Structure 1
């Protein structure tokens, strides 16, 4: 979380500092209209910069996602930036409309527009931008309304995922429209300053990213195909255990990673944690899909052996660590999937480590639980079957009471975010270094 916090505030403060350093007259302006014009420029530059980073993150650059701590962290940063863009873009629109509102409320005298400059003596680019200024303003206004609607669709989780998936790509088109808006309407004097140079870089990076999104090239180098081998319904967990055979294009994964999976003729890839370890010579993997929404609900009714599968991945850094002498694993509900893969990996590649695995759930499918027990015994992992009705809620306090020397352990959590945060807060407050707590942020909206 520290890395995404640094990049988020670094982007926000860095762009602000750059613009203010080039435009210090904002602190000396005395009339409302002059201040308003500068705020329109500042908020537009800030919103466009963050949108450019959002587009860059959307193409899943490997080096950046690793630095952030995994694709799940990159999506969390993506979400923070999206919310901030929504706020800053609204401010940009409000500052642009402010004189009209002030005149309507009789707080400001109407101003007569002088004659439009004829372009004489101007740089050719400035004259060209002036000619297209009205069009750029109209495009920007409609792009703003469209972007607000689509960002809200992305943030409101009760809206079906399929709507979100189909509409979110349109933001790349809106971004390209805002490229024209930003180039034309940036104060021309800023083009010869670091603000203009920064905008040029953002336009280049963001536009290339948007084109890759529209051409469907995200993750193109990590794609492979296969077919469904077996579908096993786990009624106690309302989940499907799906075994997939790769056609050979899947090059392997580390235990705990996830993949984007598309079944049959669907155009909607969904992220699923891989619930099996990679074995050389065995071109297959297993995922467990919980019935959480409209898409996963239909899988139960339609998925069958032989159906084609499109895979993209692997992604993620929530992987088995072999350099910690004591580890505590905590799964909440369907969050057990990466730990199943970890157990398989430990059985295949044993290591002498002290590991406590808290498998927390209201109940678990008997067949899957038998597999977890068998793997835990063979891997030398202490399994704690935690059932809320029988054991109460698992808290950091109870965990500390159960395990000696917990302060020296690495804690790995996968499950509901609120549950994980409560455990982390307790353990860190009691003395666990915050860097020793690792949590999968498996939330892509």
Structure 2
């Protein structure tokens, strides 16, 4: 999270600095005199944040190493989107509030001076000026569309299948905003660094938006496959699906995830991979729990022989921090990346001392038997915590049971608040922040 905040505020801070250098400041400050200043400032930050957001929507793998995974990139994508929304609202208010105040008699209507002679202006600037009315019209109506689409994206109850479709429309709306921004940006900005940076961001964003609209997100990372086996755990509402992949899969590491399309109408959903990888046996497993409408339907509707598409792998929850001592904590379905890692270690043993804590609502003999066998094969010390029988795992309990915990790295996957509580306790007692790794489940 620290890297996400650093990149977010650093990006906005640099754009602000470049704008301050280029800005023209009024001699006296008033609501009317600062109107154009605020319009320009919010416009630069708004289109900049929106451009970065669109670029991140392409799922750039090159950024994963720096941000610690695509799940972190999506969190940055979310906050940049919110920033773009806030800046857009402020931009809209900056343009309209003085007009409303004047119409209500709260401000005196400013006297209009003589229209400047545009004949001496550069030809390109003259053409830009002829497009102002069109650009303002497109910008205002696109603003209403963007507010609606971002609001829908932030409403968790809005169905995921509809979210993915409506979210794609933001790429088209972005192209309209680029036209609006290019035509209305202060002309002198284009000769300064703020204009150069904004132009590069909009150019990259335009390419990204075009790729999104053409359906090319992750296209070179998609592989077809066929469901080969389904194993059900009815008491836990869990299903393990084994998929035999066609040629083209790049291989994966335990702890990564993929976007899987089981139904073209539903679209791709992110699922953590629940198996290791051996090229000789190109199968990949996904362990899913019925937590919503779609995952519940999956358990009922999927069958052996169904065709699927798998896109990936993504993520940096891959246990490669150089620590020989590790502590794993999996809450509920958050056990999946640890199962994959144990299967990977079984194929290629490693010299690690590992303790795995797994919290479950109740004991399911079949699931426990499989997990125990995986742990034994990987030489992992398993600690099962059952609700109603054992106390909830706390930082104090973990520190008591693992005396050398300060020498370990901690890998957590499960409910966010549970992870935050453990992290706060362990860091307060001496664990380094960089040694606590947590995957962010929420992708929107």
**Equivalences for 1:373-388 in 2 at 5 Å?**
373-388=372-387
Aligned to 1:128: 127
Structure 1 residue 137: deviation in Å?
A: 0.8
Aligned to 2:2: 2
Change (3 A) 1:108 1:318: same
Structure 1 residue 436: deviation in Å?
A: 0.5
Deviations, residues 161-190 of structure 1 (Å, cap 9, x unaligned): 111111000000010000010001111121
Change (3 A) 1:116 1:308: farther
**Equivalences for 1:6-21 in 2 at 5 Å?**
6-21=6-21
Aligned to 1:423: 422
Given that 1:236 and 1:363 are in contact with CA atoms closer than 8 Å, whether structure 2 keeps it comes out as no
Aligned to 1:224: 223
Cα distance in 2 between the residues matched to 1:368 and 1:71: 29
Given that 2:319 and 2:411 are in contact with CA atoms closer than 8 Å, whether structure 1 keeps it comes out as no
Aligned-partner SS, 1:390: coil
Aligned to 1:404: 403
Q: Which moved further from structure 2: 179-188 or 368-377?
A: 368-377
Cα distance in 1 between the residues matched to 2:274 and 2:99: 58
Cα distance in 2 between the residues matched to 1:250 and 1:139: 43
Structure 1 residue 364: deviation in Å?
A: 5.2
Given that 1:235 and 1:365 are in contact with CA atoms closer than 8 Å, whether structure 2 keeps it comes out as no
Deviations, residues 288-344 of structure 1 (Å, cap 9, x unaligned): 111122222221222111110101101111013373221100001100000001111
Given that 1:322 and 1:351 are in contact with CA atoms closer than 8 Å, whether structure 2 keeps it comes out as no
Given that 1:361 and 1:387 are in contact with CA atoms closer than 8 Å, whether structure 2 keeps it comes out as yes
Question: What's the TM-score, normalizing by structure 1?
Answer: 0.96
Cα distance in 2 between the residues matched to 1:347 and 1:186: 59
Aligned to 1:109: 108
Aligned-partner SS, 1:34: coil
**Equivalences for 1:22-421 in 2 at 5 Å?**
22-23=22-23, 25=25, 28-113=27-112, 119-321=118-320, 323-363=322-362, 365-421=364-420
Cα distance in 1 between the residues matched to 2:106 and 2:281: 74
Q: Which moved further from structure 2: 40-49 or 88-97?
A: 88-97
Cα distance in 2 between the residues matched to 1:129 and 1:24: 19
Structure 2 residue runs without a partner (length 5+): none
Aligned-partner SS, 1:32: coil
Deviations, residues 237-283 of structure 1 (Å, cap 9, x unaligned): 21221110111222311111111000143351001000000023001
Structure 1 residue runs without a partner (length 5+): none
The CA RMSD over aligned residues, in Å, is 1.6
Cα distance in 1 between the residues matched to 2:360 and 2:142: 45
Q: Which moved further from structure 2: 112-121 or 311-320?
A: 112-121
Question: What's the TM-score, normalizing by structure 2?
Answer: 0.96
Q: Which moved further from structure 2: 388-397 or 69-78?
A: 388-397
Q: Which moved further from structure 2: 422-431 or 84-93?
A: 84-93
Structure 1 residue 124: deviation in Å?
A: 1.3
Cα distance in 2 between the residues matched to 1:58 and 1:256: 22
Q: Which moved further from structure 2: 17-26 or 42-51?
A: 17-26
Cα distance in 1 between the residues matched to 2:200 and 2:28: 29
Cα distance in 2 between the residues matched to 1:304 and 1:421: 38
Structure 1 residue 117: deviation in Å?
A: 5.1
